[in-house]
Structure 1
Amino acid sequence: MTILELLGSLIAQGAGWCKVGKKNLIHDEEPDTITGFVRSKDVDYLPKVTDSGWNGDSIIYSHQKGEFDAFYGLPLRHLPMGLISYAPIGLVNMFNSGGAIKDLAYEFTRNNSVISLRVRGCGNFRFYASVSPSKITVGSNRVEFAYNKDHCLVTF
């Protein structure tokens, strides 16, 4: 099921707005569960926002807010030698979390990897990382962060 098919299913789930009564009318009190899947290849624009070194690997991030969900397909980047994979998700309190990321760069040496981001706004920032970072700095200040090893999710 593509995203458009899923949206079509959501619209046809048995409820609708009544213009006369100015309220939602429920036609089916116990509708079936809507199921489907989301694939990063359904995101047509994804290859256009990556660099030429992107090999097609990606992650899906689920926003999970309220009665809806928004899914984001993010290109998974690999640092040289394939030792570390990462994907910045952004400021997750925003509906368009990745819109806060203005610039992304990395430096790699034999003993050290540095991922640098320029972000507009403030709030709860997350990114996917295959390994826990040794430290995170905002400006020149070191900040505390959490690393969820099961989901490879860094939050600060």
Structure 2
Amino acid sequence: MFHRAGAGAEALTCGVKGSDVHLISEAATDPDQWSGDCAVYRHGSGDHGSGDLVVLPDGAALPVSLKVLEQDILTVSPIKDLAPGFRFAPIGLVDMFNSGAAVEGLTYHLLDGGKLVGDGGSAACRSEEAVGLVCMEARGCGRFGAYSPVRPRRCMLGSVEMEFSYDSSSGLVTLQLEEMPGERVHKIVVEL
């Protein structure tokens, strides 16, 4: 979180890199294979305060400029490369300041012809064209967001297919998590 207070009218400007986030590589599911690219969700910068999602390549800096009494909150998530053109990064509950804390579990599975690679094909996946499954456990309710450069084929909450929205210009995928399930976490599967 960045906050600027003071008497001057000039803006305070800096650049934020993914590597500026303490232990960001440990948040990647495969730290040794992580490219260093991140998805950055800026909470208050979009239209009507809805937030904005940008991809920050490894080593690139996102400019942040704040005037007196302005603030910005950034959620930074490592991007997982599943296959050429298929990438993913969970953001979490995008209407909360600490949105990433909602993501409690995250696994990625590659598919070949609708079957899990290395699992004998026991995936509960119906699509022959699917490339991968992203399985997440999320705690809390509200609007859950993630980054994907391609529109997901479908999103599941438990065994129920969910409606979701997709912004093709930013890659922001959002779905609404209603009441908490008995397991205390939402089990979300995104099929790419």
Q: Same fold (TM over 0.5)?
A: yes
In structure 1, the residue matched to 2:126 is none
The letter for the 2-side match of 1:56 is G
Larger strand share, 1 or 2: 2
Aligned positions, number: 133
State TM-score, norm by structure 1.
Answer: 0.76
Residue ranges of structure 1 left out of the alignment (5+ in a row): 15-27
Which amino acid in 2 is paired with 1:57? D
CA distance in 2, matches of 1:134, 1:91: 21
Decide whether the 8 Å contact of 2:148 with 2:173 is kept in 1.
yes
CA RMSD of aligned residues (A): 2.1
**Which residue matches 1:103?**
105
Greater RCO structure (CA 8 Å; 6+ sep): 2
Aligned partners of 2:78, 2:136: CA distance in 1, in Å?
Answer: 15
1:89 to 88, 91, 100: 91
Q: Tell me, yes or no, if structure 1 residue 54 matches structure 2 residue 34.
A: yes
Q: Is the 8 A contact 2:18 2:36 kept in 1?
A: no
Q: Which structure: greater helix fraction?
A: 1
The match for 1:73 is 76
* Cα separation, 2, equivalents of 1:40 and 1:122: 27
Match of 1:144 among 149, 163, 168: 163
1:99-144 alpha-carbon deviations (Å, 9 max, x no partner): 0111111221223211111111111000000100011111111111
Identity of aligned residues (%): 33
Shift of 1:47: 1.3
User: What do residues 28-67 of structure 1 show as CA deviations (whole Å, max 9, x unaligned)?
Assistant: 5xx1233332221211220122223212111221121695
Answer with 1 or 2: which has the greater Rg. 1
Segments of 5+ residues of structure 2 without an aligned counterpart are 50-68, 114-129, 176-192
Separation in structure 2 between the aligned mates of residue 104 and residue 59 of structure 1, nearest angstrom: 16
Among candidates 131, 148, 155, match of residue 129 of structure 1: 148
CA separation of 1:67/1:141 partners in 2, compared to 1, >3 Å: closer, same or farther?
Answer: farther
SS of corresponding position for 1:109:
strand
Distance 1:45 1:72 in 2: 14
Letter in 2 for 1:88: P
In structure 2, how many angstroms separate the alpha carbons of the residues matched to 1:36 and 1:122? 33
TM-score by length of 2: 0.63
